[in-house]
Amino acid sequence: MLKLFLPKSLFVRAIIIVVAPVVLLQLVAAGVFYDRHLDTVTRRLARSVAADIGFVAAALTREKDDLARLHILQSANLRLNLAFSLIPGEKLKAGPLPRPYSPLENLLIRTIDEGMELAFNIENRTTEKHYLIKVAFEGGVLQVLVPRNRLASGTLLVLILWIVGSSLLLLAIAIMFLRNQVRPILRLADAADRFGQGQDVADFRPSGAVEVRRAGDAFLRMRDRLDRHIRQRTEMLAGVSHDLRTPLTRLKLELAMLRDIPAAAEMQGDVDEMEDMIEGYLAFARGAVGEQTVETDVNALLDEAVGDARRHGGAVEFTASGDLRGLLRPMSLRRCLDNLLGNAQRYAKHCSLAARRDGDTIEIIVDDDGPGVPEAEREAVFRPFYRLENSRNQGTGGVGLGLAIARDTVRNQGGDVMLDTAPQGGLRAIIRLPA
Ligand SMILES: Nc1ncnc2c1ncn2[C@@H]1O[C@H](COP(=O)(O)OP(=O)(O)OP(=O)(O)O)[C@@H](O)[C@H]1O
Ligand SMILES: [Mg+2]
């Protein structure tokens, strides 16, 4: 369940890991603070206002002389941050205490109520930022203006501002740092992707934290090992094929001179077959040598391949769809297509070619109306030199490398070739290429 709601990206997860505990801590701290500290402070402030008013009222009660009373009022106004005035004759409006705006104000009013010995009422003059307290006093009213700041500590707003402000600051710093931590991982993934599709990754340099750098170094070492491995294989194959050519040519010449011996004709056939095989080897070796990827118009490439096949007498149908372009190795793809079209021409009468884009892969389908390949053999025919009975019996002279080469060239670009049954009943070959 939790997995469903957790964000997928490392970046967001890391930010949550860093920011969430701090914000949570701040909220808990603020909650406790609000509950305890603010409560106490408000109570004390309210009590002190009540005590001040009580004190002034008591002093006034002791003095009957008007001048002395004026003195008391003046010095109270001067020192207590309250504005007292005596209004004789006014009657105190009795009634319930005003409805508080907030729990804090409620606490305030209740505390003043507790602290006051005289009858009073209180009025919140919000626009003027003070409370007006009227106390019953000797046939008149003692009116006190209490500035808001004598009753509210104002810490709550400051506290909230601090929490929000520091959280935002923390978030900004976390985003700044984490983005730099995630970027090298993305770059590594990107490089691995490109390498898998046969593109050049020479510009990749491991960077970032030690662990990410280690992964990057390991990737580079793996790339070098793979490159070395492929190069070694192809060089060996090319070397062997090349070296065999010379004695084979000599053998052909010698056979040509043995014209009157009947066995020589058969041997000639064998030697021709060997020559074909060696050509196949060389083609295979060439296919694996690193061709660079370039922006390729797949439709144009298919058109060329179809044209070539028709010139060789094949009945090929081609339906292009849309604009098919991508970073590909055109020569390799061409070799793959030639092999598939060659097979279709060899084992069937008609074939059709279609291409389309499916998301970020390009799909090329070669269908024919031949005998097809039985399902159990569809993996085996990709093996080098593997040929089915029909091919061997007809003496068509295939080497059995065509499909191996086709798959190799496409896999080098991160794609694959698969076999299926065509709607016409023959073989369907599907090339899928990321582009
Ligand atoms: N379109 C097809 N229809 C029927 N069978 C096929 C088709 N394509 C390939 N095969 C079978 O798969 C085998 C392997 O094909 P592959 O292209 O690798 O070799 P090949 O065609 O015999 O020789 P070459 O190296 O000259 O291409 C073939 O011998 C053939 O039996
Ligand atoms: Mg073939």
DSSP 106-169: HHHHHHHHHH--S-EEEEEETTTTEEEEEEEETTEEEEEEEEHHHH---HHHHHHHHHHHHHHH
Strand-by-strand arrangement of the 140-147 sheet? 83-88, 140-147, 130-137, 120-125
Count of structural domains, the chain: 2
Closest Cα to atom 21 of ligand 1: 398
The verdict on residue 182 lying in a domain is no
Report the alpha-carbon angle 399-402-406, nearest 5: 160
More confident residue, 431 or 157: 431
Closest Cα to atom 31 of ligand 1: 388
Distance in Å, CA 181 to ligand 2 centroid: 50
Task: Compute the distance between CA of residue 224 and CA of residue 237 in angstroms, rounded to an integer.
Answer: 20
Last residue of a domain, one of 153, 176, 201: 153
CB atoms within 10 A of CB 414: 19
Query: Residue 31 maps to which CATH number?
Result: 3.30.450.300
Give residue-wise pLDDT tens across range 352-410: 999 999 888 999 999 999 999 999 999 999 988 888 876 555 556 677 888 988 998 88
Atom of ligand 1 nearest to the CA of 405: 18
Distance in Å, CA 345 to ligand 2 centroid: 9
- Cβ atoms 414, 333 nearer than 8 A: no
Q: What is the pTM of this model?
A: 0.59
Q: Ligand 1 pocket test: which of 339, 340, 381 has the largest number of ligand atoms within 8 Å of its C-beta?
A: 381
Last residue of a domain, one of 153, 178, 198: 153
Buried b or exposed e, range 181-196, using 16+ CB within 10 angstroms = ebebbebbeebbebbe
The verdict on residue 281 lying in a domain is no
The verdict on residue 284 lying in a domain is no
Atom of ligand 1 nearest to the CA of 404: 18
pLDDT of residue 393: 57
Query: pLDDT tier at 274 (50, 70, 90 boundaries)?
Result: confident
Give residue-wise pLDDT tens across range 193-220: 888 877 778 889 999 899 999 999 999 9
* pLDDT over 90 (residue 18): no
- Cβ atoms 277, 399 nearer than 8 A: yes
More confident residue, 187 or 96: 187
The verdict on residue 193 lying in a domain is no
pLDDT of residue 290: 62
Task: Compute the distance between CA of residue 56 and CA of residue 76 in angstroms, rounded to an integer.
Answer: 7
pLDDT of residue 355: 92
pLDDT of residue 186: 93
Pocket of ligand 1 (CB under 6 A): 280, 339, 343-344, 347-348, 368, 370-373, 381, 386-388, 390-391, 398-404, 426-427
The verdict on residue 50 lying in a domain is yes
The verdict on residue 259 lying in a domain is no
Q: Which DSSP letter does residue 260 get? A: T
The verdict on residue 64 lying in a domain is yes
Which residues have a catalytic role annotated? 242
Closest Cα to atom 13 of ligand 1: 387
What residue numbers bound the domain in which 348 lies?
291-434
More confident residue, 408 or 152: 408
Give residue-wise pLDDT tens across range 300-313: 999 999 999 999 88
- Cβ atoms 295, 416 nearer than 8 A: no
pLDDT of residue 388: 84
Taking the chain, what is the end-to-end CA distance rounded to the nearest angstrom?
36
Give, as residue ranges, everything with CB less than 5 Å from ion ligand 2. 343, 402
pLDDT of residue 43: 83
CA distance readout (Å), 65 to 52, 73, 141:
21, 12, 17
Task: Compute the distance between CA of residue 312 and CA of residue 164 in angstroms, rounded to an integer.
Answer: 76
* pLDDT over 90 (residue 57): no
The verdict on residue 268 lying in a domain is no
Average pLDDT value for residue range 271-285: 79
Last residue of a domain, one of 153, 177, 204: 153
Which ligand is located closest to the Cα atom of residue 405?
A: 1
pLDDT of residue 30: 81
Name the least confident of 12-16, 238-242, 386-390, 403-407: 386-390
**In a 3-state reduction of DSSP, which class is residue 9?**
coil
* pLDDT over 60 (residue 76): yes
Closest Cα to atom 9 of ligand 1: 343
Query: Residue 342 maps to which CATH number?
Result: 3.30.565.10
pLDDT of residue 395: 58
